[in-house]
Amino acid sequence: MEPRTPLLIVSPSPHLHAGLTTSGMMGTVLLALLPAAATAIYLFGLPALRVLLVCVLGSVAIEALWQKATDQPITVRDGSAALTGLLVAFNLPASSPWWLSLLGATLAIVVGKQVFGGLGHNPFNPALVARIVLLISFPSAMTHWTAPQPGRFLADAITAATPLSESQSAVMLSGHLPQHISEFSARYLLGSMPGCLGEVSALVLFLGALFLLWRGVISWHIPVSYLGTVTLLSGIFWLMDPGRYPHPMFHLVSGGLMLGACYMATDLVTSPLTTRGMLLFGCGCGLFTVLIRLFGSYPEGVAFSILLMNAVTPLIDRYVVPRPFGMDRGRELI
Amino acid sequence: MMAAMICLGSLGCVAALLLAMAARRFAVTIDPRQVALMEVLAGANCGACGFPGCDAYARALVAGTAKPDLCRPGGAETLKRIAAILGVEVTERPPQIAVMYCQGGLQQARPKYDYQGLQDCRAAQKLARGPKLCPAGCLGLGSCVQKCPFGALSIDARGLAMVDRGRCTGCGLCVAICPRQVLALAPATESIHVLCNNRESAARVKSYCNVGCLGCRLCVRTAPESFVMDSFLAQVRYGRGQPAVMAEAMERCPHHCILNLDEQGNDQILPTPPSARERSTP
Amino acid sequence: MICRSFPGGTHPPGHKTATAHAPSLICPLPAELVIPLAQHVGAPALPCVTAGQQVARGQVVGRADGFVSVPVHASTSGLITAVEPRPHPCGAELPAVVLQPDGEDAWAEEYQKQSFHVLSVEAMLERIREAGVVGMGGAAFPTHVKLDPPQGKSIDTVIINAVECEPWLTADRRVLLEQMEKVFTGLEILKEVSGAGHAYIGLEDNQPDVAALLAPHCQKRDIGLAVLPTRYPQGAERQLIYAVTGRRVPARGLPMDVGVLVQNVGTIAALTDAVTRGRPLIERMVTISGPGVIRPQNLRVRIGTPVAHLLKQCGVTEEPAMVILGGPMMGVAQHTQAIPVVRGTSGVLAFRRQDVPITTAGPCVRCGRCVAACPMRLQPTFIADYARRDELDLAERFAARNCIECGSCSFICPANIPLVQSIRYAKGAILARRRRM
Ligand code: SF4
Ligand code: SF4
Ligand code: SF4
Ligand code: SF4
């Protein structure tokens, strides 16, 4: 044979790439969530920090272990396990013991993601799978809320109720909303209320979402259609009976809605591919959220509605397809 | 309470009735022969028969629209039983096995370029006719490995597809998928093959491969009964080979392209020592 | 002027400034020209010279073989040293005429410049065909075939494609700036030959200087100047037609089905030369650029000049790791620098190793970006998935054959999946299967 000369690389076109990668996207979402994590630590102190650390590190470790055990390439570097862990933490109360956090991380990674074949193959949002399983198995630990004590990192926990459960039980008992909820106050916006780590800082989460929009990591379709549907529906009810149904603004800032609409419903893997599909998906989420919040037996409906719509996503992808350019609907695809 | 139970109960009855009627109405009558055929077919759903699955082939057999000898993985045994079920005469086809006619691995054959893209031979073949300078050699990206329903193929350390002769059923799916036609079916009884697929002249072959057939005709001159030339490529005349003389040709081949694959079939690298060679060639 | 926007699309970085403003230069003749006989869609030309023969510049060295075929000419005067298979931009070794220039560069015969008005349509078509004019944007479809629609089809609109949406390439821009008169004459010829009443020039708004320069001329001649918002792949025929006229070319149809004819700027200039001066297509504008090139520039290159010669003219920073013929989005990476420039070569790009995008593909994260980016409104991720699993029926149902291989989907995919490669494979396999059936 002749001596070897340096070979030219031959690869299929295109020979350019936009530069946005899976790990880059995950990293950007993590970055966008950091302020919210900081807010949670500020409000709930060290317990929040513990939950966050256990969930994030736990998820990464468990994914690595699982992939090692099943002889797959280890892909924790793509950041998706860390992101899942962070979202699990955001779905837990600050008071969760370490084992509950770790269990949540395990459920999310193993049951929510890996058993389906890993990233890209899971039909449901892993963090929400974990949340729902924990909520059903450990209802008391999962609804043991503590009141936020801004800036007092070492303070003793004070048990409290979330605004949503407060309003629900008040309506059930007396038929009308308590005073402080029917008169919506701005403190909710900043998150000074009891709840899960990611349920308390709607404003910070919203700013993070704007950052993601600007970076092109998420598109506007799901958040806007989701939040829009919630506003519209809850607004109708509020107009009908403001004493019984809370103001739409209250819905927007309380509970996990902002987190769900901007970070969990927009999860790439479990939401539809097409923009029309995304709009439909967002509207569906909004509809179920309002229905569950106002009429369901759980005070919060975001997790359930997103999971429900996750289940419908394959259907949406199947029926909401773009019409190929230059084809008529009837004669298409022969 | 009572009302609810009656309600549910009658609903259940109506549903059961409907289901029963539907089952009757839409029942598919299956030819019992088809059921029996399903039992004897290999059940790999490999598609070697040209039908989407064993089920479809069985249906076609019963309908008489398919030949009975298409289930290669099932082999002679299956063929006999199919013939018995259908009550037809069949002649047995000699069993075949896939052979990968190339030894030019990463160390032996020169690459044409540095390929980056889908790990799929057919896709790579479309880029400048494949990443190897040899136009006929194995690309080693494993399209055939993925296709083989019996796990008989793998990519070995040299970067070449390798047939596990013990597992190969001769279904021919890999032969159909290989973009370089470097896999072919050969009689299962044959163990000596010229492992090269390149018909170019010696000068060209030498410029890019250490182990390719040069077309020097040494083997044909040594054993004219056993070998035949196809352009610049020597081939074994299957069924007519004379092992003793072939062994001599093997020794004389300048690029050592003539190999005796052992019975397990997972050793293509070394020519087996003369003692073993005598044993394996009847 | 209403400009519609085609669906999807992406915004690759332009990289055009390096070559956009400098006037083009004449590339010196290389020591050896390799003129492939297959430089167009259709039957390759048949060689009509033999080794050892002396040829003049512009002499026919390969005859057209059939209607969809064009002759091939000697790009300069010199000695034919061989007629043999040589590396061709398509990747295979195909028959080519090897020519050793004698430096005289003498024309076969002197043509008189002539007004096209005296020529009949047939005579003009004949001249276009004789000159070997083909689409110079890359597709290399014989122009005389495009200009001669079959019975029952008529053309009412001509569009000149000056979009040049591929990054780095500025060859069309230079032709437009330097040979503007030829382009306008060519447009007249096109209108006359095709019988079209309307003419447009399609341009992107990243070239405001050209737009400003063209505007008064277009106004004078009643030509529509469509300055379109920059987006890739604006220069693709179907997308351009939609953007300029609002007509959708049927998926299985041709531009002539909606009465439109699109011609690339370079083609128009070559066509003018052919009709008014009888000059064959033996030279074209080529952009030599890319991060690995020291002096990126536009050269007027004789057909058959090896890429290695061009890269030597412009200088490379290091031994290039990748050489692309055409643009980075749809161009073909070559395995050797010995391949020659052919009629469809609009650019030569040299990439260093660090410029080659990493290609390790991850799993699809279902982000939908490929769906959003596809200008044909397909669902690339599904088609590619079916292609990988050999589900050709499903791939076909998802309209794999409509793909124009623009590369937008692979470009944008965050998982780095070579979607276009899979889809291209599926297209080939579907066609092969149809042919068998
Ligand atoms: S035998 Fe054919 S399909 Fe298999 S790896 Fe080699 S080239 Fe690819
Ligand atoms: S190696 Fe080829 S012929 Fe043998 S079983 Fe596998 S696919 Fe079939
Ligand atoms: S390459 Fe094909 S599938 Fe991909 S974006 Fe372009 S037209 Fe669509
Ligand atoms: S762009 Fe890539 S990751 Fe996103 S849906 Fe398409 S194939 Fe999947």
Position C237, amino acid = E
| Distance from C-alpha of A301 to C-alpha of A289, rounded to nearest angstrom | 5
Mutate to test the interface with A, among C166, C324, C367 (most CBs of A within 10 A): C367
Can you give the pLDDT at residue B13?
67
Mean pLDDT calculated for residue range A195-215:
89
The yes-or-no verdict on residue A58 having pLDDT over 50 is yes
Can you give the pLDDT at residue B90?
79
Which pair of tokens denotes residue C335? 């395995």
Give DSSP secondary structure letters for B97-141: EEEE-----TTTB-BSSEE-S-S-HHHHHTTTT-SBSSSSS---S
The yes-or-no verdict on residue A271 having pLDDT over 70 is yes
Please work out whether the CB of residue B168 comes within 6 Å of at least one atom of ligand 2: yes
Identify the closest residue of chain C to B115 by CA–CA distance.
Answer: C335
Asked if A8 is an interface residue toward chain B (Cβ–Cβ < 8 A), one would say yes
**Average model confidence (pLDDT) for chain A?**
86
Beta bridge partners of residue A146, listed in sequence order = A159
Please work out whether the CB of residue C378 comes within 6 Å of at least one atom of ligand 3: yes
Chain A residues with CB under 8 Å of a chain C CB are 6-18, 20-22, 24-25, 75, 78, 118-121, 219, 268-275, 278, 321-327, 332-333
A119-135 residue pLDDT tens: 999 999 999 999 999 99
Position B95, amino acid = P
Q: Between B110, B114, B208, which is nearest A10 by CB?
A: B114
- Find chain A residues with C-beta within 8 A of B129's C-beta: none
Give DSSP secondary structure letters for B211-256: SS-----HHHHH-TTTEEEETTEEEE-TTT--HHHHHHHHHH-TT-
Mean pLDDT calculated for residue range A35-48:
89
Can you give the pLDDT at residue C118?
76
CA of B164 to the centre of ligand 1 (A): 14
Position C149, amino acid = P
Burial class (CB in 10 A: 0-12, 13-18, 19+), C431: exposed
**Helix residue ranges, H only, C278-331:** 307-314
Mutate to test the interface with A, among B107, B116, B141 (most CBs of A within 10 A): B116
Mean pLDDT calculated for residue range B129-145:
93
The yes-or-no verdict on residue B266 having pLDDT over 60 is no
User: Measuring CA to CA, which residue among A299, A306, A38, A260 is closest to residue A181?
Assistant: A299
Strands C78-87 and C93-101: antiparallel
Please work out whether the CB of residue C367 comes within 6 Å of at least one atom of ligand 4: yes
Q: If you take atom 6 of ligand 3, which residue's CA is the nearest one?
A: C406
Asked if A16 is an interface residue toward chain B (Cβ–Cβ < 8 A), one would say no
Q: How large a percentage of chain A has pLDDT more than 90?
A: 54
Q: How many CA atoms lie within 13 A of C164 on its CB side?
A: 27
The yes-or-no verdict on residue A297 having pLDDT over 80 is no
Can you give the pLDDT at residue A150?
73
- Find chain C residues with C-beta within 8 A of A332's C-beta: 399
CA of B258 to the centre of ligand 1 (A): 20
Q: What secondary structure letter does DSSP report for A128?
A: H
Q: Is the dihedral of CA A17, A19, A23, A25 positive or negative?
A: negative
The yes-or-no verdict on residue B4 having pLDDT over 60 is no
Asked if C216 is an interface residue toward chain B (Cβ–Cβ < 8 A), one would say no
Strands C25-26 and C297-302: parallel
- Find chain B residues with C-beta within 8 A of A12's C-beta: 117-118, 123, 127
Can you give the pLDDT at residue B270?
42
Please work out whether the CB of residue C183 comes within 6 Å of at least one atom of ligand 3: no
What structural domains and CATH numbers belong to chain C?
Answer: 111-277 (3.40.50.11540), 369-436 (no CATH)
| Distance from C-alpha of C288 to C-alpha of C346, rounded to nearest angstrom | 9
Given this chain, do its domains B32-86 and B96-272 carry the same CATH topology? no
User: Measuring CA to CA, which residue among A120, A130, A169, A197 is closest to residue A299?
Assistant: A169
Say which CATH topology domain B32-86 has. Answer: 3-methyladenine DNA Glycosylase II; Chain A, domain 3 (1.10.15)
pLDDT by residue for chain C (437 residues), tens digit each? 556 788 899 999 999 999 999 999 999 999 999 999 999 888 899 999 999 999 999 999 999 988 889 999 999 999 999 999 999 998 888 999 999 999 888 887 766 666 777 788 888 999 999 999 999 887 789 999 888 888 888 899 999 999 999 999 999 999 999 999 999 999 999 998 888 889 999 999 999 999 999 999 999 988 999 999 999 999 999 999 999 999 999 988 889 999 999 999 999 999 999 999 888 999 999 999 999 999 999 999 999 999 999 999 999 988 899 999 999 999 999 999 999 999 999 999 999 988 888 768 889 999 999 999 999 999 999 999 999 888 899 999 899 999 999 999 999 999 999 999 999 999 999 998 888 77
Please work out whether the CB of residue B66 comes within 6 Å of at least one atom of ligand 2: no
Can you give the pLDDT at residue A10?
92
Please work out whether the CB of residue C356 comes within 6 Å of at least one atom of ligand 4: no
Can you give the pLDDT at residue B182?
95
Which pair of tokens denotes residue B244? 């003793």
**B214 or B5: which leads in pLDDT:** B214
Q: If you take atom 6 of ligand 1, which residue's CA is the nearest one?
A: B138
Chain B residues with CB under 8 Å of a chain A CB are 110-118, 123, 127-128, 131, 206-210
Q: How far does the CA of residue B177 sit from the closest CA of chain A (Å)?
A: 21
Provide the b/e sequence for A235-257 (b: ≥16 CB within 10 Å). bebbeeeeebbbbbbbbbbbbbb
Mean pLDDT calculated for residue range B176-195:
92
CA-based end-to-end distance of chain C: 47
Residue with tokens 């109708």: A236
Position C281, amino acid = L
The yes-or-no verdict on residue A171 having pLDDT over 90 is no
Give DSSP secondary structure letters for C12-70: -----HHHHSSPPEEPPP-S-EEEES--SSSSPPEE---TT-EE-BT-EEEE--SSS--
Please work out whether the CB of residue B163 comes within 6 Å of at least one atom of ligand 2: yes
Burial class (CB in 10 A: 0-12, 13-18, 19+), B282: exposed
Q: If you take atom 8 of ligand 4, which residue's CA is the nearest one?
A: C364
- Find chain A residues with C-beta within 8 A of C319's C-beta: 6
Q: If you take atom 3 of ligand 4, which residue's CA is the nearest one?
A: C364
Please name the CATH architecture into which domain B96-272 falls.
2-Layer Sandwich (3.30)
Can you give the pLDDT at residue B275?
41
User: Measuring CA to CA, which residue among A80, A90, A97 is closest to residue A34?
Assistant: A90
Q: If you take atom 8 of ligand 2, which residue's CA is the nearest one?
A: B171
Mean pLDDT calculated for residue range A269-298:
92
**A187 or A19: which leads in pLDDT:** A19
Please work out whether the CB of residue B258 comes within 6 Å of at least one atom of ligand 2: no
DSSP strands (E only) in chain A: 9-10, 145-146, 159-160
Can you give the pLDDT at residue B2?
52
**C231 or A149: which leads in pLDDT:** C231
**Helix residue ranges, H only, B27-95:** 32-40, 54-63, 75-86
Can you give the pLDDT at residue B6?
58
CA of C336: how far to CAs of C46, C91, C355, C407, in Å?
Answer: 25, 9, 18, 23
**Average model confidence (pLDDT) for chain B?**
83
The yes-or-no verdict on residue A281 having pLDDT over 90 is yes
Can you give the pLDDT at residue B154?
92
CA of B238 to the centre of ligand 2 (A): 19
Q: How far does the CA of residue B126 sit from the closest CA of chain C (Å)?
A: 8
Q: How far does the CA of residue B112 sit from the closest CA of chain C (Å)?
A: 7
Indicate the domain borders of chain B: 32-86, 96-272
Asked if B204 is an interface residue toward chain C (Cβ–Cβ < 8 A), one would say no
Q: Which of B28-42, B43-57, C314-328 has the highest mean pLDDT?
A: C314-328
Angle, helices A22-44/A202-215, rounded to nearest 10 degrees: 160
Mutate to test the interface with B, among C323, C334, C335 (most CBs of B within 10 A): C335
Q: What secondary structure letter does DSSP report for A324?
A: P
Position C62, amino acid = G
Angle, helices C180-194/C208-221, rounded to nearest 10 degrees: 50
**B151 or B89: which leads in pLDDT:** B151
Angle, helices B54-63/B32-40, rounded to nearest 10 degrees: 130
A93-110 residue pLDDT tens: 988 899 999 999 999 999
pTM: 0.88
Q: How far does the CA of residue B38 sit from the closest CA of chain C (Å)?
A: 25
| Distance from C-alpha of B75 to C-alpha of B70, rounded to nearest angstrom | 9
Q: How large a percentage of chain A has pLDDT more than 70?
A: 89
